[in-house]
């Protein structure tokens, strides 16, 4: 009997000790990720305001600075009330992405758009998950109140990314002459796209079966793709322009 009571007492004690630690860890993890993500949104958007060329991207960046700045301030207040620490610096991954934008040569429009797509995919999932199953009531309410704005941002950046004309003017000529008023040409320049990003650009422009992508000495990704039942040679320049020609 004494043994049974002792085991029961230990079980209760372990539960009392473990539950607050679990709750604090989970809440702190949300604060860490939300704070770092929010800071990256603001910092990267400040860079975009100075270096992006497309006015729609600059307008989006301004919205990020306003909305995420407000959300960051709110998170700081809520976390402080819950005795949780808010990180003041970016983690290594986000700092690396930020440095790439800072040091990029030429327009950063495509790189910024890709960074925002990734960041908002991560943010929406983080906030949705915590809004539905968070272990801290105040932070859960914050997540519920914020996720709608994040989804609006996500839709806006996806619309920019999907419409090549919105981001890079790809539906208008990259190079225009009197003899070829509707011609399009790829523009040489330092290209920050990875192979996967170049493939994504081509697919977003309506092509399929993208293959054999290589970057030439002009900074242009070139490969093969299909569209309208035709196999084509296709390329992507540093601005994100997608141009194809019959093989």
| CB proximity list for 88: less than 8 A, separation 6 or greater | none
What average pLDDT score do residues 129-144 get? 94
Q: Domain locations in the chain? A: 2-162, 166-247
- pLDDT tens per residue, range 190-227: 777 788 888 888 988 889 999 999 998 888 899 999 99
Asked if 102 and 47 touch (Cβ cutoff 8 Å), the reply is: yes
CATH 3.40.390.30 fits 2-162, yes or no: no
Q: How confident is the model at residue 92 (pLDDT cuts 50, 70, 90)?
A: very high
Q: How confident is the model at residue 83 (pLDDT cuts 50, 70, 90)?
A: very high
Is the dihedral angle over the CA atoms 20, 22, 23, 25 positive or is it negative? positive
pTM of the shown model: 0.58
| CB proximity list for 237: less than 8 A, separation 6 or greater | 174, 186, 187, 188, 189, 191, 219, 220, 221, 243
Q: Is the pLDDT of residue 17 over 90?
A: no
What average pLDDT score do residues 128-147 get? 94
Q: Is the pLDDT of residue 70 over 50?
A: yes
Axis crossing angle, helix 55-81 with helix 2-51, rounded to the nearest 10: 150
pLDDT given for residue 180 in this prediction? 31
């Amino acid at each position: 009997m004494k043994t049974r009571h002792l085991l029961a007492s230990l079980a209760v004690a372990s539960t009392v000790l473990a539950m607050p630690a679990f709750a604090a860890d989970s809440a702190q993890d949300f604060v860490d990720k939300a704070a770092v993500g929010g800071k990256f949104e603001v910092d990267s958007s400040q860079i975009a305001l100075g270096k992006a060329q497309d006015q729609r991207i600059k307008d989006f960046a301004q919205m990020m600075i306003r909305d995420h700045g407000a959300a960051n301030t709110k998170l700081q207040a809520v976390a402080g009330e819950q005795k949780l620490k808010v990180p003041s610096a970016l983690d290594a991954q986000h700092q690396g992405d930020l440095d790439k934008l800072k040091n990029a040569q030429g327009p950063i429009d495509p790189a910024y758009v890709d960074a925002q797509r990734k960041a908002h995919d991560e943010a929406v999932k983080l906030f949705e998950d915590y809004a539905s199953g968070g272990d801290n009531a105040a932070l859960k309410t914050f997540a519920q109140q914020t996720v709608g704005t994040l989804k609006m941002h996500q839709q806006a950046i996806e619309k920019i990314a999907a419409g090549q004309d919105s981001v890079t003017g790809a539906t208008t000529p990259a190079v225009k002459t009197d003899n070829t008023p509707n011609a399009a040409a790829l523009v040489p320049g330092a290209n920050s796209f990875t192979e996967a990003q170049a493939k994504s650009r081509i697919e977003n422009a309506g092509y399929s079966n993208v293959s054999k992508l290589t970057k030439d000495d002009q900074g242009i990704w070139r490969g093969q793709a299909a569209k309208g039942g035709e196999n084509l040679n296709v390329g992507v320049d540093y601005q994100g322009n997608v141009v194809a020609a019959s093989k």
